Chain A
Amino acid sequence: MSADTDFVDYLLRRGDDCLVTAQRLGEWYAGAHEMEEDMALANIALDQLGTARLLLTYAGELEGEGRDEDALAYLRDDPQFRNCLLAELPNGDFGHTIVRLLFLSAYQWLLYARTADATGVDERWAAIAAKARKESAYHLDHSAQWTVRLGDGTDESHRRAQDAVDRLWPYTAELFESETTDGRALDPATLRDDWLSTVDKVLTEATLSRPADGAFEETHTGGRRGAHTAHLRDLLAELQSLHRAHPGATW
Protein backbone atom coordinates (compact mmCIF):
# COMPACT_ATOMS: atom_id res chain seq x y z
CA MET A 1 0.00 0.00 0.00
CA SER A 2 1.23 3.46 -0.76
CA ALA A 3 1.80 5.93 2.04
CA ASP A 4 -1.25 7.86 0.87
CA THR A 5 -3.51 4.83 1.07
CA ASP A 6 -2.36 4.19 4.62
CA PHE A 7 -3.03 7.77 5.62
CA VAL A 8 -6.43 7.80 3.92
CA ASP A 9 -7.29 4.69 5.92
CA TYR A 10 -6.05 6.41 9.07
CA LEU A 11 -8.34 9.38 8.44
CA LEU A 12 -11.29 7.12 7.60
CA ARG A 13 -10.85 5.24 10.89
CA ARG A 14 -11.04 8.49 12.84
CA GLY A 15 -13.86 9.91 10.72
CA ASP A 16 -15.94 6.73 10.79
CA ASP A 17 -15.59 6.54 14.59
CA CYS A 18 -17.11 10.02 14.71
CA LEU A 19 -19.84 9.38 12.14
CA VAL A 20 -21.04 6.15 13.74
CA THR A 21 -20.88 7.66 17.24
CA ALA A 22 -22.95 10.63 16.04
CA GLN A 23 -25.59 8.28 14.64
CA ARG A 24 -25.76 6.20 17.83
CA LEU A 25 -26.03 9.26 20.09
CA GLY A 26 -28.68 10.71 17.80
CA GLU A 27 -30.83 7.67 18.57
CA TRP A 28 -31.19 8.98 22.11
CA TYR A 29 -32.93 12.14 20.99
CA ALA A 30 -36.22 12.48 22.90
CA GLY A 31 -35.39 9.22 24.70
CA ALA A 32 -33.14 10.24 27.58
CA HIS A 33 -34.39 10.60 31.16
CA GLU A 34 -34.52 14.39 30.93
CA MET A 35 -34.89 16.86 28.08
CA GLU A 36 -31.63 18.38 29.33
CA GLU A 37 -29.81 15.09 28.67
CA ASP A 38 -31.39 14.82 25.22
CA MET A 39 -29.80 18.16 24.47
CA ALA A 40 -26.41 17.18 25.85
CA LEU A 41 -26.22 13.92 23.89
CA ALA A 42 -27.45 15.61 20.72
CA ASN A 43 -24.84 18.34 21.15
CA ILE A 44 -22.13 15.73 21.45
CA ALA A 45 -23.55 13.90 18.42
CA LEU A 46 -23.37 17.10 16.38
CA ASP A 47 -19.79 17.73 17.49
CA GLN A 48 -18.90 14.21 16.36
CA LEU A 49 -20.68 14.74 13.06
CA GLY A 50 -18.80 17.99 12.48
CA THR A 51 -15.46 16.27 12.99
CA ALA A 52 -16.57 13.37 10.77
CA ARG A 53 -17.31 15.79 7.96
CA LEU A 54 -13.87 17.39 8.15
CA LEU A 55 -12.12 14.02 8.24
CA LEU A 56 -14.13 12.36 5.49
CA THR A 57 -13.78 15.40 3.24
CA TYR A 58 -10.02 15.35 3.70
CA ALA A 59 -9.80 11.57 3.21
CA GLY A 60 -11.81 11.89 -0.02
CA GLU A 61 -9.51 14.62 -1.35
CA LEU A 62 -6.37 12.62 -0.59
CA GLU A 63 -7.87 9.49 -2.09
CA GLY A 64 -8.30 11.38 -5.35
CA GLU A 65 -11.22 9.39 -6.70
CA GLY A 66 -13.69 12.23 -6.58
CA ARG A 67 -15.52 11.06 -3.46
CA ASP A 68 -16.75 13.84 -1.17
CA GLU A 69 -17.98 13.52 2.42
CA ASP A 70 -21.47 12.50 1.27
CA ALA A 71 -20.18 9.84 -1.09
CA LEU A 72 -18.08 8.39 1.72
CA ALA A 73 -20.82 8.55 4.33
CA TYR A 74 -23.76 7.44 2.21
CA LEU A 75 -22.39 5.24 -0.53
CA ARG A 76 -20.01 2.87 1.19
CA ASP A 77 -21.17 -0.53 2.47
CA ASP A 78 -20.19 -1.79 5.89
CA PRO A 79 -17.01 -3.65 4.78
CA GLN A 80 -15.63 -0.30 3.63
CA PHE A 81 -16.21 1.36 6.99
CA ARG A 82 -13.18 1.61 9.26
CA ASN A 83 -14.74 2.50 12.63
CA CYS A 84 -13.95 0.47 15.73
CA LEU A 85 -16.51 -2.13 16.83
CA LEU A 86 -17.01 -0.29 20.12
CA ALA A 87 -18.64 2.63 18.30
CA GLU A 88 -21.15 0.53 16.37
CA LEU A 89 -22.55 -1.56 19.25
CA PRO A 90 -26.18 -0.79 20.07
CA ASN A 91 -26.70 1.86 22.73
CA GLY A 92 -28.05 -0.47 25.37
CA ASP A 93 -29.28 1.38 28.45
CA PHE A 94 -28.13 4.86 29.47
CA GLY A 95 -25.27 3.37 31.50
CA HIS A 96 -23.92 1.51 28.46
CA THR A 97 -24.15 4.62 26.35
CA ILE A 98 -22.29 6.68 28.94
CA VAL A 99 -19.54 4.12 29.59
CA ARG A 100 -19.02 3.64 25.86
CA LEU A 101 -18.78 7.41 25.44
CA LEU A 102 -16.28 7.55 28.30
CA PHE A 103 -14.04 4.96 26.64
CA LEU A 104 -14.32 6.56 23.20
CA SER A 105 -14.04 10.19 24.17
CA ALA A 106 -11.02 9.56 26.41
CA TYR A 107 -9.39 7.98 23.36
CA GLN A 108 -10.42 10.74 20.98
CA TRP A 109 -9.42 13.48 23.39
CA LEU A 110 -5.94 12.03 23.90
CA LEU A 111 -5.44 11.48 20.19
CA TYR A 112 -6.63 14.98 19.25
CA ALA A 113 -4.63 16.69 21.98
CA ARG A 114 -1.43 14.80 21.17
CA THR A 115 -1.86 15.35 17.46
CA ALA A 116 -2.54 19.07 17.83
CA ASP A 117 0.67 19.46 19.87
CA ALA A 118 2.85 17.14 17.83
CA THR A 119 5.47 18.34 15.40
CA GLY A 120 5.89 16.80 11.98
CA VAL A 121 2.39 15.37 11.67
CA ASP A 122 0.20 16.22 8.70
CA GLU A 123 -0.76 19.88 8.99
CA ARG A 124 -4.41 19.66 8.08
CA TRP A 125 -5.01 16.63 10.31
CA ALA A 126 -3.36 18.55 13.16
CA ALA A 127 -5.68 21.51 12.50
CA ILE A 128 -8.76 19.27 12.57
CA ALA A 129 -7.49 17.71 15.81
CA ALA A 130 -6.96 21.16 17.34
CA LYS A 131 -10.56 22.10 16.58
CA ALA A 132 -11.97 18.80 17.84
CA ARG A 133 -9.91 18.78 21.03
CA LYS A 134 -12.02 21.28 23.01
CA GLU A 135 -15.24 19.58 21.97
CA SER A 136 -13.79 16.24 22.89
CA ALA A 137 -12.76 17.49 26.34
CA TYR A 138 -16.41 18.28 26.95
CA HIS A 139 -17.54 14.83 25.77
CA LEU A 140 -15.07 13.27 28.18
CA ASP A 141 -16.22 15.53 31.00
CA HIS A 142 -19.88 14.75 30.38
CA SER A 143 -19.38 11.00 30.25
CA ALA A 144 -17.05 11.06 33.28
CA GLN A 145 -19.56 13.08 35.33
CA TRP A 146 -22.31 10.60 34.56
CA THR A 147 -20.12 7.52 35.02
CA VAL A 148 -19.34 8.69 38.56
CA ARG A 149 -23.00 9.37 39.31
CA LEU A 150 -24.17 6.02 37.95
CA GLY A 151 -21.34 3.98 39.44
CA ASP A 152 -21.47 5.70 42.82
CA GLY A 153 -25.25 6.07 42.73
CA THR A 154 -27.91 3.51 43.64
CA ASP A 155 -27.40 -0.26 43.76
CA GLU A 156 -29.23 -0.58 40.48
CA SER A 157 -27.28 2.15 38.67
CA HIS A 158 -24.01 0.68 39.98
CA ARG A 159 -24.97 -2.78 38.78
CA ARG A 160 -25.81 -1.50 35.32
CA ALA A 161 -22.71 0.65 35.00
CA GLN A 162 -20.49 -2.23 36.13
CA ASP A 163 -22.21 -4.48 33.59
CA ALA A 164 -21.44 -1.92 30.88
CA VAL A 165 -17.76 -1.78 31.85
CA ASP A 166 -17.49 -5.58 31.85
CA ARG A 167 -19.21 -5.99 28.49
CA LEU A 168 -17.52 -3.11 26.68
CA TRP A 169 -14.00 -3.57 28.00
CA PRO A 170 -13.03 -6.37 25.54
CA TYR A 171 -13.82 -3.96 22.70
CA THR A 172 -11.32 -1.34 23.85
CA ALA A 173 -8.21 -3.26 22.81
CA GLU A 174 -9.03 -2.55 19.18
CA LEU A 175 -8.60 1.17 19.77
CA PHE A 176 -4.90 0.68 20.39
CA GLU A 177 -3.97 -1.58 17.53
CA SER A 178 -0.87 -0.29 15.82
CA GLU A 179 -1.49 1.61 12.58
CA THR A 180 0.91 2.49 9.78
CA THR A 181 1.17 6.25 9.75
CA ASP A 182 4.30 7.04 7.75
CA GLY A 183 5.12 9.82 10.20
CA ARG A 184 2.08 11.86 9.22
CA ALA A 185 0.07 10.92 12.27
CA LEU A 186 0.42 9.41 15.74
CA ASP A 187 0.09 5.66 16.14
CA PRO A 188 -2.91 5.07 18.45
CA ALA A 189 -0.96 2.24 20.05
CA THR A 190 1.12 4.86 21.87
CA LEU A 191 -1.96 6.19 23.70
CA ARG A 192 -2.92 3.14 25.71
CA ASP A 193 -1.06 3.91 28.95
CA ASP A 194 -2.44 7.43 29.18
CA TRP A 195 -5.89 6.22 28.20
CA LEU A 196 -5.79 3.64 30.98
CA SER A 197 -4.83 6.17 33.61
CA THR A 198 -7.53 8.60 32.40
CA VAL A 199 -10.23 5.94 32.45
CA ASP A 200 -9.00 4.28 35.65
CA LYS A 201 -9.26 7.57 37.52
CA VAL A 202 -12.91 7.93 36.54
CA LEU A 203 -13.77 4.28 37.25
CA THR A 204 -12.15 4.47 40.69
CA GLU A 205 -14.13 7.57 41.60
CA ALA A 206 -17.22 5.79 40.31
CA THR A 207 -16.45 2.76 42.55
CA LEU A 208 -16.38 0.61 39.42
CA SER A 209 -13.78 -2.02 38.66
CA ARG A 210 -12.43 -3.05 35.32
CA PRO A 211 -11.13 -6.40 34.10
CA ALA A 212 -7.39 -6.83 34.61
CA ASP A 213 -5.07 -6.66 31.62
CA GLY A 214 -5.01 -10.00 29.88
CA ALA A 215 -8.26 -11.11 31.48
CA PHE A 216 -9.70 -11.90 28.08
CA GLU A 217 -8.24 -14.54 25.83
CA GLU A 218 -10.12 -13.09 22.95
CA THR A 219 -10.74 -9.41 22.32
CA HIS A 220 -13.24 -8.15 19.80
CA THR A 221 -11.56 -6.62 16.82
CA GLY A 222 -11.87 -6.29 13.06
CA GLY A 223 -13.64 -2.99 12.55
CA ARG A 224 -10.47 -1.21 11.47
CA ARG A 225 -10.17 -3.75 8.64
CA GLY A 226 -13.85 -3.65 7.68
CA ALA A 227 -14.93 -6.83 9.50
CA HIS A 228 -17.93 -5.47 11.36
CA THR A 229 -20.77 -6.79 13.47
CA ALA A 230 -24.24 -6.98 11.95
CA HIS A 231 -25.11 -3.93 14.07
CA LEU A 232 -23.25 -1.64 11.69
CA ARG A 233 -25.27 -2.85 8.72
CA ASP A 234 -28.48 -1.95 10.56
CA LEU A 235 -27.11 1.44 11.53
CA LEU A 236 -26.02 2.21 7.96
CA ALA A 237 -29.37 1.07 6.55
CA GLU A 238 -30.98 3.86 8.53
CA LEU A 239 -28.22 6.41 8.00
CA GLN A 240 -28.08 5.89 4.24
CA SER A 241 -31.72 5.14 3.39
CA LEU A 242 -32.69 8.66 2.35
CA HIS A 243 -29.65 9.24 0.18
CA ARG A 244 -29.99 5.86 -1.48
CA ALA A 245 -33.70 6.37 -2.20
CA HIS A 246 -33.23 9.94 -3.40
CA PRO A 247 -29.62 10.32 -4.56
CA GLY A 248 -28.27 13.80 -3.91
CA ALA A 249 -31.31 14.87 -1.91
CA THR A 250 -30.82 18.17 -0.07
CA TRP A 251 -32.98 20.47 2.00
Chain B
Amino acid sequence: MSSEPLWEVFVRPRRGLSHTHVGSLHAPDAALALRNARDLYTRRQEGVSIWVVPADAITASSPDEKDAFFDPAADKVYRHPTFYHVPDGVPHL
Protein backbone atom coordinates (compact mmCIF):
# COMPACT_ATOMS: atom_id res chain seq x y z
CA MET B 1 0.00 0.00 0.00
CA SER B 2 2.83 2.33 0.83
CA SER B 3 4.52 4.18 -2.01
CA GLU B 4 7.30 5.73 0.04
CA PRO B 5 10.70 4.02 0.41
CA LEU B 6 11.59 2.03 3.49
CA TRP B 7 14.29 3.24 5.92
CA GLU B 8 16.05 1.41 8.73
CA VAL B 9 16.42 3.39 11.94
CA PHE B 10 19.34 3.29 14.38
CA VAL B 11 19.25 5.12 17.69
CA ARG B 12 22.09 5.84 20.09
CA PRO B 13 20.55 5.75 23.55
CA ARG B 14 23.36 7.55 25.39
CA ARG B 15 26.70 9.11 24.69
CA GLY B 16 29.38 6.42 24.64
CA LEU B 17 27.07 3.67 23.42
CA SER B 18 26.76 2.68 19.78
CA HIS B 19 23.75 3.13 17.53
CA THR B 20 21.35 0.20 17.76
CA HIS B 21 18.78 -0.87 15.20
CA VAL B 22 15.32 -0.09 16.53
CA GLY B 23 13.03 -0.62 13.55
CA SER B 24 12.01 0.76 10.19
CA LEU B 25 9.66 3.32 8.70
CA HIS B 26 8.46 4.87 5.46
CA ALA B 27 9.46 8.35 4.31
CA PRO B 28 9.84 10.07 0.93
CA ASP B 29 13.44 11.17 1.61
CA ALA B 30 16.21 11.17 4.20
CA ALA B 31 15.30 14.45 5.91
CA LEU B 32 11.73 13.36 6.52
CA ALA B 33 12.88 9.87 7.49
CA LEU B 34 14.90 11.47 10.31
CA ARG B 35 11.88 13.46 11.44
CA ASN B 36 9.58 10.44 11.30
CA ALA B 37 12.16 8.48 13.29
CA ARG B 38 12.15 11.20 15.90
CA ASP B 39 8.36 10.87 16.19
CA LEU B 40 8.24 7.08 16.19
CA TYR B 41 11.32 6.00 18.10
CA THR B 42 12.42 8.77 20.45
CA ARG B 43 9.09 9.84 21.92
CA ARG B 44 10.18 8.90 25.42
CA GLN B 45 13.69 10.30 25.35
CA GLU B 46 15.16 7.04 24.11
CA GLY B 47 18.01 8.63 22.24
CA VAL B 48 20.58 11.35 21.70
CA SER B 49 21.33 10.55 18.05
CA ILE B 50 19.49 8.93 15.14
CA TRP B 51 20.73 7.37 11.90
CA VAL B 52 18.44 6.48 9.03
CA VAL B 53 19.64 4.20 6.23
CA PRO B 54 17.76 3.29 3.04
CA ALA B 55 16.67 -0.30 3.60
CA ASP B 56 17.80 -1.32 0.12
CA ALA B 57 21.33 -0.10 0.90
CA ILE B 58 21.73 -2.88 3.44
CA THR B 59 23.20 -6.17 2.32
CA ALA B 60 22.06 -8.92 4.66
CA SER B 61 23.33 -12.43 5.22
CA SER B 62 20.95 -15.04 3.89
CA PRO B 63 19.06 -17.30 6.31
CA ASP B 64 19.77 -20.19 3.91
CA GLU B 65 23.49 -19.83 4.44
CA LYS B 66 23.16 -19.65 8.19
CA ASP B 67 24.99 -22.95 8.79
CA ALA B 68 27.96 -22.11 6.62
CA PHE B 69 28.19 -18.64 8.07
CA PHE B 70 27.89 -19.25 11.76
CA ASP B 71 28.30 -22.91 12.69
CA PRO B 72 32.08 -23.18 12.11
CA ALA B 73 32.54 -20.90 15.14
CA ALA B 74 30.72 -23.32 17.43
CA ASP B 75 33.62 -25.71 18.19
CA LYS B 76 36.39 -23.14 18.44
CA VAL B 77 36.42 -22.70 22.17
CA TYR B 78 39.84 -21.04 22.03
CA ARG B 79 38.15 -17.96 20.63
CA HIS B 80 36.48 -17.42 23.97
CA PRO B 81 38.49 -16.15 26.91
CA THR B 82 37.40 -19.03 29.12
CA PHE B 83 40.83 -20.28 30.17
CA TYR B 84 41.80 -17.39 32.34
CA HIS B 85 41.57 -17.46 36.09
CA VAL B 86 39.57 -14.50 37.35
CA PRO B 87 40.95 -13.31 40.68
CA ASP B 88 38.49 -12.87 43.53
CA GLY B 89 37.30 -9.35 44.05
CA VAL B 90 37.26 -8.30 40.42
CA PRO B 91 33.63 -7.36 39.97
CA HIS B 92 33.33 -6.07 36.41
CA LEU B 93 35.29 -8.41 34.19
**B36 to A39, Cβ gap below 8 A?**
yes
Interface size, chain B (Cβ < 8 Å): 14
Q: Is A70 an interface position by the 8 A CB rule?
A: no
- Looking at chain B's contact residues, is the secondary structure mostly helix, strand, loop, or mixed? mixed
Q: Per-residue CB proximity of B6-46 to A under 8 Å, as 1/0? A: 00000000000000000001111101100110011001000
CB closest chain-A residue, reference B37: A36
Q: Which A residues are CB-close (under 8 A) to B71?
A: none
Q: Is B2 an interface position by the 8 A CB rule?
A: yes
Interface size, chain A (Cβ < 8 Å): 12
With contacts A39-B39, A40-B36, A40-B39 taken as known, whether A34 is within 8 angstroms of B31 at the C-beta atoms is: no
Q: Is B4 an interface position by the 8 A CB rule?
A: yes
CB closest chain-B residue, reference A141: B35
Q: Is A243 an interface position by the 8 A CB rule?
A: no
Chain A residues in the interface with B (C-beta under 8 A): 34-37, 39-40, 43, 141-142, 145-146, 149
Chain B residues in the interface with A (C-beta under 8 A): 2, 4, 25-29, 31-32, 35-36, 39-40, 43
A35-B26, A39-B36, A149-B29 known; 8 other A-B pairs, CB under 8 Å?
A34-B4, A36-B39, A36-B40, A40-B39, A43-B39, A142-B35, A149-B28, A149-B32
